[in-house]
Copies of this chain bind each other. A is one copy, B any other.
Amino acid sequence: MVQVDETTQGVLNQISEGFEQKGAYNLRQNGIPLCHGDSEHIKIRKKEDKPGIDILIDGETKGEKVFIPVVVSVSGMTDLVYNDFYVADGADVTIVAGCGIHNGGCNDSRHDGIHTFHVGKNANVRYEEKHYGEGNGTGQRILNPVTNIEIGENSVFTLDTVQIKGVDSTIRTTNVVMDANSKLFVLERLMTDGDQKAESDIEVCMNGSGSSAQIISRSVGKGNSSQVFHPKAVGKNKCHAHIQCDSIIMDHAQVGSIPEIQAKHVDAAIIHEAAIGRINDEQLLKLRTLGMTEAEAENVIIENFLS
Contact = CB atoms under 8 A, between A and B. Distances in A.
A83 B186 CA distance: 48
Contacts of A259: 258-259, 272, 274
Contacts of A277: 263, 268-271
Interface in A283-301: none
A235 B265 CA distance: 34
A254 B258 contact: no
A266 interface: yes
Interface residues of A, number: 32
A91 B119 CA distance: 64
Contacts of A265: 249
A165 to B, nearest CB: 20
A17 interface: no
A273 to B, nearest CB: 5
Interface string A195-230: 000000000000000000000000000000000000
Contacts of A47: none
A255 B251 CA distance: 37
Interface of A: 235, 247, 249-278
24 contacts: A247-B263, A249-B263, A250-B266, A254-B262, A254-B263, A256-B261, A256-B262, A256-B263, A257-B261, A257-B272, A258-B258, A258-B260, A259-B259, A259-B274, A261-B274, A263-B277, A266-B278, A267-B278, A269-B275, A269-B276, A270-B275, A271-B275, A272-B273, A273-B274
